[in-house]
């Protein structure tokens, strides 16, 4: 019997290794898998590369990982959200590497990874500093820059409901990077508010089919 | 800066007049968000937010709303009837793929060729951040820039060439400032509208790039309030 549900947060993040590339869903404070990130903090993996839109805020989740020196590098589009004090401090001290990526490129690089593609050309950023060192071609009459796929060893995301096959539906704008990250990681771990029986999710409305999901853990009230 | 000028709400109202009914619109963070508050209620506009919303509505009443339903500026919003949620890759497909009719963006600098600089300045000590600015600038069908005509110390922001790092080259269609409405054309910058009481020479003096003036320059009259 297929059953991707796990009983605890430590089980959900078990085996994340030092040096792993971890995709973390969320945009601002919407859709962040806070409890999974805290479980990763407890699990202890170090030297991580985080792929996430923002660089954490305050003292929780991504900011806590950065504060505790677990993150070697962050790949993100907007590390200057108000309250990103730990990222700014580590960045100024030269203790964390930043790879800045336009937000659509960040998402599309993960989509390419999930889709088995070798990358893509995009006009976004082609005339900017962010294209430095990358191949630029004229395609359809405009300058476009080559971007490589971005794989994760692990994705940590948040959804609203899951069944035991790992089929997912999300909650409003908390969906954001979740469905794309789920496709792009070797192991996709999801925290949900609610488990439902197989067959209870309307097949017309399942957003992430369970084929992209490996572990699901329930976090009440999340 | 003293002298004739539009207020911020006048500027937002002027931009709003350029947004046609039925348009799919993305408003950038900061000044551009004001535009959504002054668009005529006679128009049906579908607002897009980069984090996966079409049909975005105004802020919820205090104490109500969904904490995860936020706009690109991370402020709480609502969803209107007919609205939808989708993931980031689809959202940026809409932006980059030419499906957004109009975007209104803030700007640090705009060049005579319509180059836009709105993501980084020459300040040091802060990490750079770009968000969705580049995707939106290259992808929207019409790019409107709403910004002050000069910096706080009076340095022109409309220049022959941008000195700040570019967001995108040759993308701006129209510039709205407290002094003028200026089109970016293949022949350079053309002033379409000029605030009442300001001479053409005064406008040019506050502009780094060379301006030409349309045959029928319209007077921009500040409204009350």
Residue of A104, A126, A147, A178 to mutate, testing the B interface (most B Cβ within 10 Å of its Cβ) = A104
Cα–Cα distance, A116 to B67 (Å, whole number): 35
pTM for this entry: 0.96
Catalytic status, residue B50? yes
Chain center to CA of B30: 9
Contacts of A122 in chain B (CB under 8 A): 96, 135
User: How far does the CA of residue A172 sit from the closest CA of chain B (Å)?
Assistant: 6
Tallying the residues shown for chain A, one arrives at 222
Tell me, letter by letter, the H, E, C secondary structure of chain B: CCCCCCCHHHHHHHHHHCCCCCCEEEECCCCCHHHHHHCCCCCCCEEEECCCEEEEECCCCCCCCCCCCECCCCCECEEEEEEEECCHHHHHHHHHCCCCCEEEECCCEEECCCCEECCCCCCCCCCCCCCCHHHHHHHCCEEEEECCCECCCCCECEECCCCCCCCECCCCCEEECCCEEEEEECCEEEEEEEECCCCHHHHHHCCCCCEEEEEEEEEECCCCC
B79 touches chain A (CB under 8 A): yes
Nearest CB partner across the interface for B138, out of A123, A171, A173: A123
Contacts of B128 in chain A (CB under 8 A): 98, 100
B84 touches chain A (CB under 8 A): no
Nearest CB partner across the interface for B70, out of A28, A107, A177: A28
- Residue A75 phi, psi dihedral angles, 5° rounding: -110, 110
Q: What pLDDT, on the 0 to 100 scale, is given for residue B1?
A: 53
Q: What pLDDT, on the 0 to 100 scale, is given for residue A222?
A: 84
Cα–Cα distance, B196 to B210 (Å, whole number): 20
Q: Do B87 and A180 touch (CB under 8 A)?
A: yes
- For residues B130 and B119, the answer to whether their CB atoms sit within 8 Å is yes
- For residues B197 and B207, the answer to whether their CB atoms sit within 8 Å is no
pLDDT tens digit string along A164-175? 999 999 999 999
Residue (of B24, B20, B33) closest to B94 by Cα position: B24
Contacts of A143 in chain B (CB under 8 A): 169
Q: Do A104 and B132 touch (CB under 8 A)?
A: yes
Nearest CB partner across the interface for A30, out of B51, B119, B168: B51
Residue (of B56, B23, B135) closest to B88 by Cα position: B135
Residues 127-146 of B with CB under 8 A from A: 127-135, 138-139
Number of Cβ within a 10 Å radius of residue A132: 9
- For residues A105 and A148, the answer to whether their CB atoms sit within 8 Å is no
B85 touches chain A (CB under 8 A): yes
Contacts of A31 in chain B (CB under 8 A): 68
Q: What pLDDT, on the 0 to 100 scale, is given for residue B41?
A: 93
Q: What pLDDT, on the 0 to 100 scale, is given for residue B124?
A: 72
CA geometry: angle at B8 spanning B6 and B12, to 5°? Answer: 100
Residues 6 or more apart whose CB falls under 8 angstroms from that of A14 comprise A43
Q: Do B92 and A78 touch (CB under 8 A)?
A: no
- Residue B209 phi, psi dihedral angles, 5° rounding: -90, 155
Q: From B84, which residue of chain A is nearest by alpha-carbon distance?
A: A172
Contacts of B131 in chain A (CB under 8 A): 77-78, 102-103
Q: Do A102 and B135 touch (CB under 8 A)?
A: yes
Q: Do A179 and B134 touch (CB under 8 A)?
A: no
Look at the alpha carbons of B157, B213, B9, B102 in this order and tell me if their dihedral is positive or negative. Answer: negative
B67 touches chain A (CB under 8 A): yes
User: How far does the CA of residue B133 sit from the closest CA of chain A (Å)?
Assistant: 7
> Which secondary structure element, helix H or strand E, spans residue A3, and what is its range?
none
Across residues A120-132, what is the average pLDDT?
97
Contacts of B91 in chain A (CB under 8 A): 107
- For residues A158 and A125, the answer to whether their CB atoms sit within 8 Å is no
Residue (of A76, A63, A75) closest to A37 by Cα position: A63
pLDDT tens across the length of chain B (225 residues): 578 999 999 999 999 999 999 999 999 998 999 999 999 999 999 999 999 999 999 999 998 999 999 999 999 999 999 999 999 999 999 999 999 999 999 999 999 999 999 999 877 777 899 999 999 999 999 999 999 999 999 999 999 999 999 999 999 999 999 999 999 999 999 999 999 999 999 999 999 999 999 999 999 999 865
Question: pLDDT band for position A160 (50/70/90)?
Answer: very high
B97 touches chain A (CB under 8 A): no
């Amino acid at each position: 019997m297929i059953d991707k549900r796990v009983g605890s947060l430590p089980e959900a993040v078990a085996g994340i290794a030092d040096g792993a590339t971890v995709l973390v869903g969320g945009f601002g404070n919407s859709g962040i898998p806070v409890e999974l990130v805290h479980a990763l903090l407890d699990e202890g993996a170090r030297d991580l590369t985080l792929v996430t839109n923002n660089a954490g805020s305050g003292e929780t989740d991504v900011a806590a990982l950065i504060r505790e020196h677990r993150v070697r590098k962050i790949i993100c589009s907007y590390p200057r959200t108000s309250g990103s004090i730990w990222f700014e401090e580590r960045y100024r001290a030269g203790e964390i590497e930043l790879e800045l990526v336009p937000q659509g490129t960040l998402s599309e690089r993960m989509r390419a990874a999930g889709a088995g593609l070798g990358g893509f050309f995009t006009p976004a950023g082609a005339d900017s500093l962010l294209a430095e060192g990358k191949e630029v071609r004229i395609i359809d009459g405009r300058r476009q820059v080559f971007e490589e796929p971005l794989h994760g060893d692990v994705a940590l995301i948040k959804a609203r409901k899951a069944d035991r096959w790992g089929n997912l539906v999300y909650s409003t704008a908390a969906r954001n990077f979740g469905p794309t990250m789920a496709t792009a990681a070797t192991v996709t771990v999801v925290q949900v508010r609610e488990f439902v029986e197989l067959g209870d999710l309307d097949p017309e409305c399942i957003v992430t089919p369970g084929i992209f999901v490996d572990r699901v853990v329930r976090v009440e009230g999340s | 800066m003293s002298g004739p000028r539009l207020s911020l709400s006048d500027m937002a109202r002027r931009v709003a007049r350029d947004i046609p009914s039925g348009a799919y619109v993305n408003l950038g963070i900061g000044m551009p968000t004001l535009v959504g508050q002054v668009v005529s209620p006679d128009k049906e506009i579908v607002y897009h937010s980069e984090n996966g919303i079409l049909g975005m509505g105004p802020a919820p009443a205090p104490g109500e709303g969904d904490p995860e339903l936020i706009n690109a500026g991370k402020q709480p919003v609502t969803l209107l009837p007919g609205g939808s949620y989708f993931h980031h890759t689809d959202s940026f497909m809409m932006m980059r793929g030419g499906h957004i009719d109009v975007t209104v963006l803030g700007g640090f600098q705009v060049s005579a060729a319509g180059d836009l600089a709105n993501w980084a300045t020459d300040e040091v000590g802060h990490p750079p951040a770009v968000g969705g600015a580049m995707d939106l600038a290259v992808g929207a069908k019409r790019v409107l820039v709403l910004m002050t005509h000069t910096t706080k110390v009076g340095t022109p922001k409309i220049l022959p060439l941008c000195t700040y790092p570019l967001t995108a080259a040759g993308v701006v269609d129209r510039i709205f400032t407290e002094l003028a409405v200026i089109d970016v054309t293949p022949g350079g910058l053309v002033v379409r509208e000029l605030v009442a009481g300001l001479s053409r020479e005064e406008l040019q003096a506050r502009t780094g790039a060379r301006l030409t003036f349309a045959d029928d320059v319209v007077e921009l009259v500040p409204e009350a309030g």
